[in-house]
Amino acid sequence: MCSWHVATVFVFRAKWPLLVLLALTCPLRPSWAITPDNPRVKSAVKDAIEYLEGASDGRLGAKALVGLTFAKHGADPSHPKIASAIKALQNALKNGPEKFRSDIYSTGVSIMFLVAVDPSRYRYEIETLCKSLHLRQKPHGAWGYPITHEKHGKTCDTSMKQYAVLGLWEAEDQAGIETPRIVWDRVARWLLLTQDETGGFGYQGQPSARLGRTVKQSGVRHSMTVAALGSLYIVKDRIGITKLKKPADDDTPDAFQPYESPEARAARIKTRIDLRHFAR
Protein backbone atom coordinates (compact mmCIF):
# COMPACT_ATOMS: atom_id res chain seq x y z
CA MET A 1 0.00 0.00 0.00
CA CYS A 2 1.33 3.37 -0.98
CA SER A 3 1.79 5.83 1.91
CA TRP A 4 3.11 9.35 2.24
CA HIS A 5 5.99 10.45 4.41
CA VAL A 6 6.86 14.10 4.92
CA ALA A 7 10.31 14.83 6.31
CA THR A 8 11.22 18.32 7.49
CA VAL A 9 14.85 19.31 7.05
CA PHE A 10 16.15 22.68 8.20
CA VAL A 11 19.11 23.96 6.21
CA PHE A 12 20.89 27.16 7.19
CA ARG A 13 22.60 28.65 4.16
CA ALA A 14 24.11 32.11 3.89
CA LYS A 15 21.84 34.54 5.70
CA TRP A 16 18.54 32.69 5.44
CA PRO A 17 17.49 29.34 6.91
CA LEU A 18 15.54 27.29 4.41
CA LEU A 19 12.82 24.75 5.04
CA VAL A 20 12.94 21.77 2.73
CA LEU A 21 9.89 19.52 2.70
CA LEU A 22 10.57 16.17 1.12
CA ALA A 23 7.51 14.13 0.17
CA LEU A 24 8.34 10.50 -0.49
CA THR A 25 5.70 8.23 -1.96
CA CYS A 26 5.37 4.45 -2.12
CA PRO A 27 8.32 3.50 0.12
CA LEU A 28 9.89 0.14 -0.53
CA ARG A 29 9.31 -0.83 3.09
CA PRO A 30 6.04 -0.68 5.01
CA SER A 31 5.64 2.65 6.78
CA TRP A 32 5.72 0.93 10.19
CA ALA A 33 9.11 -0.71 9.62
CA ILE A 34 11.09 2.02 11.40
CA THR A 35 9.74 3.59 14.59
CA PRO A 36 11.22 6.05 17.12
CA ASP A 37 12.23 3.03 19.22
CA ASN A 38 14.22 1.47 16.39
CA PRO A 39 17.93 1.22 17.32
CA ARG A 40 18.92 2.96 14.09
CA VAL A 41 16.68 5.91 14.89
CA LYS A 42 17.93 6.12 18.47
CA SER A 43 21.51 6.02 17.25
CA ALA A 44 20.88 8.81 14.72
CA VAL A 45 19.22 10.98 17.37
CA LYS A 46 22.08 10.33 19.80
CA ASP A 47 24.65 11.32 17.17
CA ALA A 48 22.71 14.47 16.29
CA ILE A 49 22.40 15.58 19.90
CA GLU A 50 26.11 14.98 20.51
CA TYR A 51 26.95 17.00 17.42
CA LEU A 52 24.74 19.91 18.47
CA GLU A 53 26.26 19.92 21.95
CA GLY A 54 29.53 21.04 20.41
CA ALA A 55 28.20 23.04 17.45
CA SER A 56 28.23 26.82 17.38
CA ASP A 57 26.26 29.26 15.23
CA GLY A 58 25.77 32.88 16.24
CA ARG A 59 22.66 33.53 14.15
CA LEU A 60 19.48 34.00 16.14
CA GLY A 61 17.44 31.52 14.12
CA ALA A 62 20.15 28.87 14.46
CA LYS A 63 20.29 29.35 18.23
CA ALA A 64 16.52 29.08 18.52
CA LEU A 65 16.41 25.98 16.31
CA VAL A 66 19.09 24.23 18.33
CA GLY A 67 17.36 25.25 21.56
CA LEU A 68 14.06 23.92 20.22
CA THR A 69 15.75 20.61 19.41
CA PHE A 70 17.01 20.20 22.97
CA ALA A 71 13.68 21.33 24.45
CA LYS A 72 11.80 18.74 22.38
CA HIS A 73 14.39 16.16 23.35
CA GLY A 74 13.50 16.72 27.01
CA ALA A 75 16.45 18.82 28.15
CA ASP A 76 16.07 20.99 31.23
CA PRO A 77 15.46 24.72 30.54
CA SER A 78 18.80 25.41 32.23
CA HIS A 79 20.65 23.50 29.49
CA PRO A 80 23.37 25.78 28.03
CA LYS A 81 21.96 25.62 24.48
CA ILE A 82 18.46 26.54 25.67
CA ALA A 83 19.68 29.24 28.08
CA SER A 84 21.95 30.74 25.41
CA ALA A 85 19.11 30.93 22.88
CA ILE A 86 16.76 32.56 25.40
CA LYS A 87 19.36 35.18 26.32
CA ALA A 88 20.02 35.96 22.65
CA LEU A 89 16.28 36.36 22.02
CA GLN A 90 15.78 38.62 25.02
CA ASN A 91 18.63 40.86 23.87
CA ALA A 92 17.19 41.02 20.35
CA LEU A 93 13.74 41.93 21.70
CA LYS A 94 14.73 44.55 24.25
CA ASN A 95 13.66 47.44 22.00
CA GLY A 96 10.20 46.05 21.25
CA PRO A 97 8.54 44.54 18.17
CA GLU A 98 9.03 47.61 15.99
CA LYS A 99 12.83 47.36 16.28
CA PHE A 100 13.09 43.58 15.95
CA ARG A 101 14.88 42.91 12.68
CA SER A 102 15.48 39.17 12.54
CA ASP A 103 14.23 37.32 9.47
CA ILE A 104 10.81 35.64 9.22
CA TYR A 105 12.26 32.13 9.44
CA SER A 106 14.05 32.91 12.69
CA THR A 107 11.00 34.65 14.14
CA GLY A 108 8.72 31.68 13.57
CA VAL A 109 11.25 29.19 14.96
CA SER A 110 11.88 31.45 17.98
CA ILE A 111 8.18 31.49 18.85
CA MET A 112 7.97 27.70 18.64
CA PHE A 113 11.12 27.42 20.76
CA LEU A 114 9.83 29.63 23.59
CA VAL A 115 6.42 27.95 23.58
CA ALA A 116 8.16 24.57 23.92
CA VAL A 117 10.31 25.77 26.84
CA ASP A 118 7.74 27.68 28.95
CA PRO A 119 4.90 29.69 27.34
CA SER A 120 3.94 31.27 30.66
CA ARG A 121 7.38 32.41 31.77
CA TYR A 122 8.27 33.78 28.33
CA ARG A 123 4.88 35.20 27.45
CA TYR A 124 6.24 38.73 26.93
CA GLU A 125 8.89 37.50 24.50
CA ILE A 126 6.38 35.37 22.57
CA GLU A 127 3.91 38.26 22.35
CA THR A 128 6.65 40.59 21.13
CA LEU A 129 7.70 38.14 18.43
CA CYS A 130 4.07 37.71 17.33
CA LYS A 131 3.56 41.47 17.17
CA SER A 132 6.68 41.79 15.04
CA LEU A 133 5.10 39.39 12.55
CA HIS A 134 1.82 41.32 12.61
CA LEU A 135 3.73 44.51 11.83
CA ARG A 136 5.71 42.91 9.00
CA GLN A 137 2.75 41.38 7.21
CA LYS A 138 2.99 42.74 3.67
CA PRO A 139 0.18 44.56 1.79
CA HIS A 140 -0.54 41.44 -0.27
CA GLY A 141 -1.25 39.53 2.95
CA ALA A 142 1.74 37.30 3.70
CA TRP A 143 5.44 37.67 4.54
CA GLY A 144 8.72 37.73 2.68
CA TYR A 145 11.97 39.59 2.21
CA PRO A 146 12.22 43.17 3.56
CA ILE A 147 10.57 45.79 1.38
CA THR A 148 14.05 47.14 0.62
CA HIS A 149 15.16 43.85 -0.95
CA GLU A 150 16.17 44.54 -4.56
CA LYS A 151 14.59 41.47 -6.17
CA HIS A 152 11.76 40.25 -3.91
CA GLY A 153 10.89 43.28 -1.79
CA LYS A 154 7.44 43.76 -3.33
CA THR A 155 6.29 40.13 -3.24
CA CYS A 156 5.40 37.61 -0.54
CA ASP A 157 7.43 34.45 -0.08
CA THR A 158 5.63 31.09 0.19
CA SER A 159 8.55 29.54 2.08
CA MET A 160 8.87 32.33 4.66
CA LYS A 161 5.11 32.59 5.06
CA GLN A 162 4.86 29.06 6.40
CA TYR A 163 7.20 29.93 9.29
CA ALA A 164 5.11 32.96 10.23
CA VAL A 165 1.93 30.87 10.11
CA LEU A 166 3.50 28.05 12.16
CA GLY A 167 4.78 30.46 14.79
CA LEU A 168 1.53 32.38 15.14
CA TRP A 169 -0.46 29.14 15.25
CA GLU A 170 1.79 27.69 17.98
CA ALA A 171 1.50 30.87 20.04
CA GLU A 172 -2.29 30.99 19.72
CA ASP A 173 -3.02 27.28 20.11
CA GLN A 174 -0.47 26.41 22.79
CA ALA A 175 0.13 29.70 24.63
CA GLY A 176 -3.20 31.50 24.21
CA ILE A 177 -1.60 34.52 22.54
CA GLU A 178 -4.10 35.57 19.91
CA THR A 179 -3.39 36.94 16.48
CA PRO A 180 -6.00 39.41 15.14
CA ARG A 181 -8.44 37.68 12.83
CA ILE A 182 -7.71 40.20 10.10
CA VAL A 183 -4.14 38.85 9.95
CA TRP A 184 -5.40 35.30 9.38
CA ASP A 185 -7.98 36.57 6.90
CA ARG A 186 -5.34 38.34 4.82
CA VAL A 187 -3.11 35.25 4.77
CA ALA A 188 -6.07 33.15 3.61
CA ARG A 189 -6.83 35.59 0.81
CA TRP A 190 -3.19 35.64 -0.35
CA LEU A 191 -3.04 31.86 -0.42
CA LEU A 192 -6.25 31.62 -2.42
CA LEU A 193 -5.04 34.27 -4.87
CA THR A 194 -1.63 32.74 -5.53
CA GLN A 195 -2.53 29.19 -6.54
CA ASP A 196 -1.08 28.19 -9.88
CA GLU A 197 -3.26 27.04 -12.79
CA THR A 198 -1.98 23.49 -12.14
CA GLY A 199 -3.16 23.58 -8.54
CA GLY A 200 0.34 23.97 -7.10
CA PHE A 201 2.04 27.00 -5.57
CA GLY A 202 5.14 28.96 -6.50
CA TYR A 203 8.02 30.58 -4.66
CA GLN A 204 7.20 34.30 -4.88
CA GLY A 205 3.41 34.41 -5.12
CA GLN A 206 1.88 36.67 -7.76
CA PRO A 207 -1.74 37.37 -6.68
CA SER A 208 -4.57 36.90 -9.13
CA ALA A 209 -6.86 39.82 -9.92
CA ARG A 210 -9.73 38.24 -7.99
CA LEU A 211 -10.72 35.21 -5.98
CA GLY A 212 -11.75 32.23 -8.04
CA ARG A 213 -9.30 32.99 -10.84
CA THR A 214 -5.89 31.34 -10.96
CA VAL A 215 -2.77 32.91 -12.39
CA LYS A 216 0.41 31.23 -13.63
CA GLN A 217 3.08 31.20 -10.94
CA SER A 218 6.85 30.83 -11.23
CA GLY A 219 8.92 28.39 -9.24
CA VAL A 220 6.07 25.93 -8.65
CA ARG A 221 7.47 23.02 -6.61
CA HIS A 222 6.14 20.20 -4.49
CA SER A 223 7.81 21.76 -1.44
CA MET A 224 6.12 25.13 -2.02
CA THR A 225 2.76 23.42 -2.55
CA VAL A 226 3.10 21.50 0.71
CA ALA A 227 4.05 24.74 2.51
CA ALA A 228 1.05 26.60 1.07
CA LEU A 229 -1.55 23.88 1.63
CA GLY A 230 -0.31 23.18 5.15
CA SER A 231 -0.60 26.88 5.93
CA LEU A 232 -4.08 27.03 4.41
CA TYR A 233 -5.27 24.21 6.66
CA ILE A 234 -3.95 26.08 9.70
CA VAL A 235 -5.52 29.36 8.58
CA LYS A 236 -8.89 27.66 7.98
CA ASP A 237 -8.80 26.41 11.55
CA ARG A 238 -7.86 29.83 12.93
CA ILE A 239 -10.73 31.63 11.20
CA GLY A 240 -13.23 28.99 12.27
CA ILE A 241 -13.79 26.99 9.09
CA THR A 242 -13.77 23.61 10.79
CA LYS A 243 -16.48 21.03 11.21
CA LEU A 244 -17.82 20.34 14.66
CA LYS A 245 -16.42 17.15 16.14
CA LYS A 246 -17.80 14.86 18.77
CA PRO A 247 -15.89 14.71 22.08
CA ALA A 248 -13.67 11.65 22.41
CA ASP A 249 -15.90 10.20 25.14
CA ASP A 250 -19.12 10.67 23.13
CA ASP A 251 -20.51 7.27 22.16
CA THR A 252 -23.24 8.65 19.92
CA PRO A 253 -23.38 6.63 16.66
CA ASP A 254 -21.43 8.19 13.78
CA ALA A 255 -24.64 8.40 11.77
CA PHE A 256 -25.64 11.33 14.00
CA GLN A 257 -23.73 14.51 13.24
CA PRO A 258 -23.35 17.48 15.64
CA TYR A 259 -25.78 20.30 14.90
CA GLU A 260 -24.79 23.94 14.80
CA SER A 261 -27.32 26.69 14.29
CA PRO A 262 -26.68 29.20 11.47
CA GLU A 263 -26.29 31.92 14.09
CA ALA A 264 -23.66 29.97 16.02
CA ARG A 265 -21.77 29.14 12.82
CA ALA A 266 -21.81 32.77 11.71
CA ALA A 267 -20.40 33.81 15.08
CA ARG A 268 -17.65 31.20 14.88
CA ILE A 269 -16.40 31.90 11.37
CA LYS A 270 -14.22 35.01 11.23
CA THR A 271 -13.56 35.81 7.60
CA ARG A 272 -14.88 38.07 4.89
CA ILE A 273 -14.03 35.57 2.18
CA ASP A 274 -16.83 33.61 0.55
CA LEU A 275 -16.46 30.10 1.99
CA ARG A 276 -16.94 28.56 -1.46
CA HIS A 277 -13.40 29.61 -2.34
CA PHE A 278 -11.96 27.33 0.32
CA ALA A 279 -13.49 24.31 -1.37
CA ARG A 280 -11.65 24.74 -4.66
pLDDT in tens, 94-104: 999 999 989 99
User: What's the pLDDT at 9?
Assistant: 37
Displacement of CA 275 from its chain's centroid (Å)? 23
Q: Which residues of 210-221 are buried (b: 16+ CB within 10 A; e: fewer)?
A: eeeeeeebeebe
Lowest mean pLDDT among 7-21, 90-104, 105-119, 137-151: 7-21
User: What's the pLDDT at 244?
Assistant: 67
Instruction: Work out the percent of the chain whose per-residue pLDDT is above 90.
Output: 64
| Mean per-residue pLDDT, 113-121 | 97
What CA–CA distance (Å, rounded) separates 82 from 73? 11
User: What's the pLDDT at 13?
Assistant: 36
What CA–CA distance (Å, rounded) separates 135 from 132? 5
Three-state DSSP class for 235?
helix
* Residue of higher predicted confidence among 277 and 272: 272
pLDDT above 80 (res 248): no
Mean pLDDT of the chain: 84
| Mean per-residue pLDDT, 65-87 | 95
Query: pLDDT digits over 14-50, tens only?
Result: 333 333 333 334 444 555 568 888 999 999 999 999 9
pLDDT above 60 (res 135): yes
Query: pLDDT digits over 155-166, tens only?
Result: 999 999 999 999
Query: pLDDT digits over 168-192, tens only?
Result: 999 999 999 999 999 999 999 999 9
Query: pLDDT digits over 192-230, tens only?
Result: 999 999 999 999 999 988 888 888 999 899 999 999 999
Lowest mean pLDDT among 79-83, 253-257, 269-273: 269-273
What CA–CA distance (Å, rounded) separates 5 from 27? 8
